[in-house]
Chains A and B, each alone.
Chain A
C-alpha cells in the first residue's frame, strides 16, 4: 500500500479535460451517431449480400472452396471499405463544420472585444456558429453591460459631484466612495 504523505513541495494538480459537455460531448455524440448509423447500414448490407451468397452457394455451388470466407471475402471487404470510407468522409465533414462554427463564433466575439476596446459596450455580440458560442456571446454581453453600468454609475456620480454645490462634509466621503467604486472596474 502506498503510504506516501504529501510534502509541502509536492504539487497535486488535477487536470480536468471534460470541461464543456455541450461542446466536447456534443461533437462526440454527433460523430458517434454517424458511426452507429454506418455500422447499422453495414450490418444490413452484409446480412443481405453475404447471407444471399452463402445461401446460393449452398444451393448451387460445387464447393471448390475451402472456407466460407473464400465465397464472401470480396463482398465483405468491399462493404468494409465502403463503411470506412463513408464514416471517415462524413466525420471529416462534421469536423470541418465544427471548426467553421467555432471560427464564426470566435470572430464575432473578437469583434465584440475590439468594439469594447473602443468604448462600445452595448452593441450585442450575436456570436453565431453554434449554441455554445451563442451562450458564450451572451456571457460576453453580460460582462460588457455589467462594465458599462459600473462606468455609467461612476460617470453619473462624478458629474453629480462636479456640478452641484455639494457641502464639504459630504463631498469628501462621496469622493472616497467614488475612488473605491473605480477600483472595481476591471479589478
Chain B
C-alpha cells in the first residue's frame, strides 16, 4: 500500500508486533532451556548400580566428567538460542529496517534528481508515521513545484495571444515564483 493520505496519529509499533516479537524470544529461550535440561538429564539419569565402592567411583568420576558435560551443554544452549535470536531479530526487525531502507532509496533518488515514487509499505511494516511524514513533505514540495511550473506555463499561454505584454507577464510569473520560494530557508 502507498502511504499518501493524512490520518490521525498512529502508534509507531503495533501492539501485536511487540507481543509477537517477545513471544518468539521467549519461545527461543524455552527451547534452549529444554535442550539444556535434556542434556543434563541424559547424563545424570544413569542408574547408580553396584556396591558402595562402585557407586562411590561412579559419583566421583561423574563430578570429574562434569566440566566437559557442562561445556558442551552450555555451548549447545548458546548456539541454539543465539541462532533463534538471530532469525527473530532479522525477520522481526525487518519490519522496521525495511521502511527505513526504502526511504533511504527514495531520498537517494530525490538527491539524484531522478523520478521517484512515494515510500510504499508492505504488510506488517512498522514506523508508518515516519513514512507518512516523508510522503507528506514530498507531496507538498511537488505541489509547490507544480504551482511554479503552472505560473510559467500560464505566462507562456498569454504570450500566444500577443507579444506586447509577453515579457511583462513572464517577469511577473518569475516574481511570483521568487516570492513563493522565499519561504524555503
Contact = CB atoms under 8 A, between A and B. Distances in A.
Nearest to B101: A19
A117 B140 contact: yes
A106 B44 contact: no
A140 B59 contact: no
A36 interface: yes
Nearest to A161: B174
Majority SS of interface residues in chain A?
Answer: helix
Contacts of B100: 20, 23, 132, 136
A131 interface: no
Interface residues of A, number: 87
A83 to B, nearest CB: 7
Majority SS of interface residues in chain B?
Answer: helix
A-B residue pairs, 3 tightest by C-beta: A162-B174, A58-B59, A28-B89
5 contacts: A47-B70, A58-B56, A68-B44, A110-B130, A187-B109
Interface of B: 12-13, 18, 21-22, 25-26, 29-30, 32-33, 36-37, 40-41, 44-48, 52, 55-56, 58-60, 62-63, 66-67, 70-71, 73-74, 77-78, 81-82, 85-86, 89-91, 93-94, 96-98, 100-101, 103-104, 107, 109-111, 113-116, 127, 129-130, 133-134, 136-138, 140-142, 144-145, 148-149, 152, 167, 170-171, 174-175, 177-178, 181-185
Interface of A: 17-20, 23-25, 27-28, 31-32, 35-36, 39-40, 42-43, 46-47, 50-51, 54-55, 57-58, 63, 65-69, 71-73, 76-77, 80, 83-84, 87-88, 91-92, 95, 99, 102-103, 106, 109-110, 113-114, 116-122, 132, 136, 139-140, 142-143, 146-148, 151-152, 154-155, 158-159, 161-162, 168, 171, 175, 178-179, 182-187
